[in-house]
Structure 1
Amino acid sequence: MAPHGVVQQPHEAPGGSTCDLNFIFKEGSNVPRKGHTLHRDVLADPIYNSKIVTKLVNSIMLDGKKGIAQKIVYGAFERVAEKTGKDALDIFEEAMNNIMPVLEVKAKRVGGATYQVPMEVRPERRQTLALRWLTEFSRKRSEKTQAERLANELMDAANNTGAAVKRKEEMHRMAEANKAFAHYRF
């Protein structure tokens, strides 16, 4: 066997046939365990011309039924526009800004102890978490239709109330309580 980083020349295998065993190893390289995939960019919503609305539709969607998810989201936006008298997209963006967390805690193991280390949240993850919470807490509400539940959760979030905003505040409280461990950042 050739040493690491060396090309091995063809040799004669038992039985008289030659086989080519040319292996080239890059010095110091690690074997990749998992390939990185490219994220496919979502298309802007046809009605509101916004990518984040498309992401909300995808978040609401169950079992691949996008048409139903679109009816729910558009119905919720119409209800929001009726009740507030403002543009539904503006209310949605305001709600998202009120839900998106700035800090989160991640578990970091140091020696035998596990610390909850506060970290800043990347912009993409902030948006993903906000959409996830909005969907999760709108589903848990008690109104009759999902469109009503989503509309009311959006209006609550825009007014800095509601379960999704409480989740963000809880996450920020955890980060604040554990700021003594901030020096353990990755």
Structure 2
Amino acid sequence: MRRRRAPKRPVTPDPIYNDVLVSKLVVRVMKDGKKTVAQSIVYGAFDIIKEKLEKDPLEVYHQAVQNVRPLIEVRPRRVGGATYQVPFEVPEERAISLALRWIVKAARDKSGRPMKEKLAQELIDAYNGVGAAVKKRDDVHKMAEANKAFAHYRW
């Protein structure tokens, strides 16, 4: 038997917007423990969003994350020597985590511009329901839909 699960640590909200979700994005953007660099990227992206859309960047960001969050995903499940892709509902915490991961990855995969511009563009795209992160979510949903026949293997 394994030991007990580690307790979830509370996330401290970021200093400027006082929002937990923003600090999660900062941590996702961060590389090599350089938090101030990550913060300047995220806040720079928020400034660009404010400039372009003339809306509250926090509102845009929250809506973008909502648009990218997956509702269902597939997980492999071995049954009698065969591995099936079984669709599962995604827990809230994991859905947000996946959404942030996909947004940051999509921004990093763009090329030729500073990271804050790429991140701002990806957040705007996600807010509008287009872009690479939203496409990733749609692909995950399609995969789950295609494997709906194996839903009875859920445990």
TM-score class normalised by the smaller sequence: over 0.9
Partner of 2:88: 119
Higher helix share goes to which structure? 2
Partner of 1:137: 106
Larger Rg: 1
Query: Are 2:52 and 1:87 equivalent residues in the alignment?
Result: no
Task: Tell me the TM-score normalized by structure 2.
Answer: 0.97
Task: Tell me the TM-score normalized by structure 1.
Answer: 0.81
Give deviations 1:84-142, integer Å, cap 9, x for gaps: 00000010011001100000000111101111100000000000000111111100112
Give deviations 1:66-88, integer Å, cap 9, x for gaps: 00000000000000010000000
Moved over 4 A (4+): none
Secondary structure in 1 matching 2:113: coil
1:175 is aligned, of 129, 144, 148, to 144
Partner of 1:56: 25
Q: What are the ranges of 5 or more consecutive residues in structure 1 without an aligned counterpart?
A: 1-31
Partner of 2:16: 47
Secondary structure in 1 matching 2:116: helix
Partner of 1:76: 45
Task: Give the drift of 1:143.
Answer: 4.0
Q: Give the share of equivalent positions with the same residue, in percent.
A: 53
Structure 2 Cα separation of the partners of residues 36 and 108 of structure 1: 22
Most deviating of 148-157 and 135-144: 135-144
Q: Which amino acid aligns with 1:91?
A: V
The alignment covers a number of residue pairs equal to 155
Task: Give the drift of 1:33.
Answer: 2.4
Query: Are 2:77 and 1:108 equivalent residues in the alignment?
Result: yes
Q: What are the ranges of 5 or more consecutive residues in structure 2 without an aligned counterpart?
A: none
1:161 is aligned, of 126, 130, 148, to 130
Secondary structure in 2 matching 1:106: strand
Structure 1 Cα separation of the partners of residues 113 and 75 of structure 2: 37
Q: Which has the higher contact order (CA 8 A, sep 6+)?
A: 2
Structure 2 Cα separation of the partners of residues 134 and 59 of structure 1: 10
Secondary structure in 2 matching 1:71: helix
CA RMSD of aligned residues (A): 0.8
Query: Are 2:35 and 1:66 equivalent residues in the alignment?
Result: yes
